[in-house]
Amino acid sequence: MSEHKPDFSLRVARWPEDIPALRQVREPVFVKEQEVPLELEWDEDDPRCHHILAEDPSGRPIGTGRLSPQGKIGRMAVLKEWRGHGVGSALLDALVAQARTVGLEECLLHAQTSALSFYERHGFVAEGPEFEEADIPHRLMRQRLGGNGA
């Protein structure tokens, strides 16, 4: 295994033009790997969300996440071969930065319990009981953003 860190870049996805690119990440991760029903993966919030896409040097989509206008981060996904290379961290940092840019006081998310430590490393705090979403155990997590007057 080499120590070389793969190159990738982030960009804001355009809705609806980038739906095919988002599909190339979300469907393999959520629908195929995690067996989330396709009808649950795409929802009425998608058009209203701020989406970030991670791409490899050739422009191939490798990761994505979204931020709702209410400050909920979701649909965080990185293709299996790109996990462990900082893609998820870069996506999460970009979404939190966007929340700050638009003046939100906090971000929240529904973390799969297997990913709690990832989100904790990024300043999110778990609260409340575990719950099921698409037959996968989750916890609510929140991060206060502070800002002017907070």
Report CA-CA distances (Å) from 11 to 72, 89, 110, 113.
19, 14, 23, 28
Low-confidence ranges of the chain (pLDDT < 50): 1-2, 148-150
pLDDT for 146:
78
Question: What predicted TM-score, i.e. pTM, was given to this entire model?
Answer: 0.92
Domains and CATH numbers, the chain: 9-108 (3.40.630.30)
Give me the pLDDT at residue 5, please: 61
Residue corresponding to tokens 């209203």: 48
Beta strands in 18-124 (DSSP E): 50-55, 61-67, 72-78, 106-112
